[in-house]
Amino acid sequence: MVGVACNSGDGDFQSQGAVMLKNFVNVRRVKSFLGSAFLLLSFGLLQGCGEDSEKTAMVRQAIAIESSDECHLCGMIITNFPGPKGQLYSRGISGNMRFCSTRDMFAFIVDPENKHNIQEAFVHDMAVTPWDHPDNEAFIDAKKAFYVIGHGKKGAMGPTLASFSTQADADAFVSSEGGSVYRFEQITLELLISMNHMSTESHGASAHE
Ligand code: CU1
Ligand code: ZN
């Protein structure tokens, strides 16, 4: 995305500017205005590019999940389903990976092939966003989040981890929905498997809809 903006941004603005100029009466005034706008834009773009390549080496941010985005693990359209989503960056893979559910994100994370390559990771803070349609503004650092496992609410793939930014919010969720609170490092493959059992036992149905 940054690459495209850096390479073609100027050209687009210049051709747009040329069309605009023909339509204005006070050509000179518009021209000088556009001239300074170009200078500012070019400067901004150049600076943006330099900063961005430095930042990718340090820390990357959560991005918006679009309505056509598919889960990296299962391929489902992420925004078609309820419950907290996850996204992460992994060493050796450029760009971000998005997941239909915290469950699928952790299934990816606990895989021994991926475990040591996980860099930044993000999940929804379910204390501030609706369960059925979590908002792109509500992503928090997954490594600092509190997770509730063993509750009755369903995510995209059935039982899932409810994610929160504070222990108090996780505790409040436990008192209304059940389950127990875990930290990022405590989540293992065994725990994910047991999560499915807990739920099939208490609800008698596997993932549907
Ligand atoms: Cu799925
Ligand atoms: Zn998925």
What tens digit of pLDDT does each residue of 143-176 get? 999 999 999 999 999 999 999 999 999 999 999 9
CA of residue 206 to ligand 1 center, whole Å: 13
What was the pLDDT predicted at 190? Answer: 96
| Ligand of minimum distance to the alpha carbon of 86 | 2
Name the residue among 32, 41, 140, 11 with its Cα closest to residue 88: 140
What was the pLDDT predicted at 8? Answer: 38
What was the pLDDT predicted at 123? Answer: 98
Q: Are 91 and 55 in contact (CB under 8 A)?
A: no
What was the pLDDT predicted at 160? Answer: 98
CA of residue 123 to ligand 2 center, whole Å: 14
What was the pLDDT predicted at 201? Answer: 52
What's the pTM? 0.70
CA of residue 67 to ligand 2 center, whole Å: 14
Q: Are 138 and 83 in contact (CB under 8 A)?
A: no
What was the pLDDT predicted at 72? Answer: 98
Q: Can you tell me the distance from the alpha carbon of 103 to that of 163, in angstroms, rounded to the nearest whole number?
A: 10
What was the pLDDT predicted at 37? Answer: 46
- 102-109 vs 189-203: helix crossing angle, rounded to 10: 150
Which residues of the chain are modeled with pLDDT < 70?
Answer: 1-58, 199-209
What was the pLDDT predicted at 204? Answer: 39
Q: Can you tell me the distance from the alpha carbon of 201 to that of 79, in angstroms, rounded to the nearest whole number?
A: 28
What was the pLDDT predicted at 75? Answer: 98
CA of residue 42 to ligand 1 center, whole Å: 43
What was the pLDDT predicted at 59? Answer: 82
Residues in the chain: 209
CA of residue 167 to ligand 1 center, whole Å: 28
Tokens at 100, concatenated: 């239909």
Which residues have C-beta under 5 Å from ligand 1, the single-atom ion? 74, 76, 100, 157
Q: Can you tell me the distance from the alpha carbon of 148 to that of 167, in angstroms, rounded to the nearest whole number?
A: 10
Q: Are 122 and 139 in contact (CB under 8 A)?
A: yes
Tokens at 85, concatenated: 């989503």
What was the pLDDT predicted at 119? Answer: 96
| Ligand of minimum distance to the alpha carbon of 71 | 2
